[in-house]
């Protein structure tokens, strides 16, 4: 009786202003078994959608209000026939081959052309005056699917399969997706909990702090390469490598203009980067412009070298939705 009473009180709670998102643990191999469901891992911005009697708010994973950045998505969400709701999802640019692209997502954001972006909703935490965050995930997703049956084309339900995670992961990689997210289908929504959700990647994509940049060479304008870093658990800012590829002339100018006000005279790293490595050209420290470690970017890379540096790094875009202080080097579990 007491448990039922507590559940009724939670369900009758008012619509939350913001809910800390549930996070996923990076693993080497997707889990197996019928207690897991598996979704594609989208390559965009994680956004919560708070809908309250036509008032729409889009919030980042840190609670920032980004509704003004994506008015077309907010308008599409306002077309849903409901009193109030709280959704978890990912806003993405979708390429012609059906794969999501963070670089295209950021380009659309920078141009203010967000009408073609797609919001993939994968969880429902509150609906029409009732909290359902503690209900089993598979039940929340079933209600979400029904809710989105008549939604505009830019609001889509994130479907899933149950069981056989490794096979689903192989199929996702064959589609050149970023990876998959595996979730315990009977679990409640657990903000910040790493373990009930697990991510298995196809591509090595991570976020790093920009700690400096080099002068351009040849016909390349604005800057040469970005110097990247991450925080160790003891608080030291460590060097991770360089990113030079993947930046058009327009991107180079945009990144350069953003970095110039952050230039500082002293190196922010705990130790200087190596001047040479066997996978890249020598690093001339005299040509490095150090910056305050505030900007975060996402890169794709081949692997980590034995001496702890990134190899074959391709720039993807800036991540203004994540504070630099949260950037760590991820280590897959299992």
Report the catalytic residues: 41
**How many whole angstroms from its chain centre is CA 249?**
25
Task: Give every CB contact of residue 235 below 8 A, 6+ residues apart in sequence.
Answer: none
Q: Across-strand partners of 148?
A: none
Instruction: Using the Cα atoms of residue 126, residue 131, residue 134 and residue 140 in order, give the sign of their dihedral.
Output: negative
Beta strands 155-157 and 118-127, pairing class: parallel
CB of 188 within 8 A of CB of 285?
Answer: no
Q: What is the spatial distance between Cα 120 and Cα 144, in angstroms, rounded to a whole number?
A: 11
Q: What is the spatial distance between Cα 35 and Cα 226, in angstroms, rounded to a whole number?
A: 43
């Amino acid at each position: 009786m007491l448990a039922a009473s507590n559940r009724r009180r939670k369900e009758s709670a008012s619509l939350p202003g913001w809910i800390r998102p549930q996070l996923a643990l990076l693993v080497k191999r997707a889990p197996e078994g019928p207690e897991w469901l598996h979704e594609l891992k989208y390559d965009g911005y994680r956004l919560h959608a708070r809908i309250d009697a036509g008032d729409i708010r889009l919030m980042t994973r840190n609670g920032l209000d980004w509704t003004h950045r994506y008015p077309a998505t907010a308008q599409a969400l306002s077309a849903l026939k409901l009193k109030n709701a709280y959704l978890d999802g990912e806003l993405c640019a979708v390429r012609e081959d059906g794969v999501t692209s963070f670089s295209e997502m950021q380009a659309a954001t920078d141009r203010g052309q967000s009408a073609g972006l797609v919001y993939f909703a994968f969880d429902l935490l509150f609906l029409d005056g009732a909290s359902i965050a503690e209900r089993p995930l598979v039940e929340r997703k079933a209600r979400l699917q029904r809710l989105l049956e008549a939604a505009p084309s830019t609001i889509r339900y994130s479907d899933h399969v149950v069981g056989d995670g490794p096979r689903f992961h192989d199929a996702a990689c064959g589609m050149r997706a970023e990876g998959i997210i595996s979730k315990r289908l009977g679990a409640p929504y657990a903000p910040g909990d790493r373990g009930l959700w697990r991510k298995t990647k196809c591509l090595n994509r991570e976020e790093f702090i920009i700690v400096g940049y080099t002068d351009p060479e040849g016909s390349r304008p604005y800057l040469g390469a970005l110097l990247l870093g991450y925080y160790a658990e003891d608080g030291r800012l460590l060097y991770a490598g360089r990113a030079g590829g993947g930046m058009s002339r327009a991107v180079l100018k945009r990144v350069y203009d953003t970095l110039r006000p952050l230039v500082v005279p002293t190196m922010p790293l705990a130790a200087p980067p190596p001047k040479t490595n066997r996978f890249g050209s020598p690093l001339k420290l005299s040509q490095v412009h150090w910056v305050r470690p505030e900007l975060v970017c996402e890169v794709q890379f081949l692997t980590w070298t034995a001496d702890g540096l990134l190899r074959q790094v391709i720039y993807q875009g800036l991540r203004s939705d994540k504070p630099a202080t949260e950037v760590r080097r991820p280590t897959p579990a299992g």
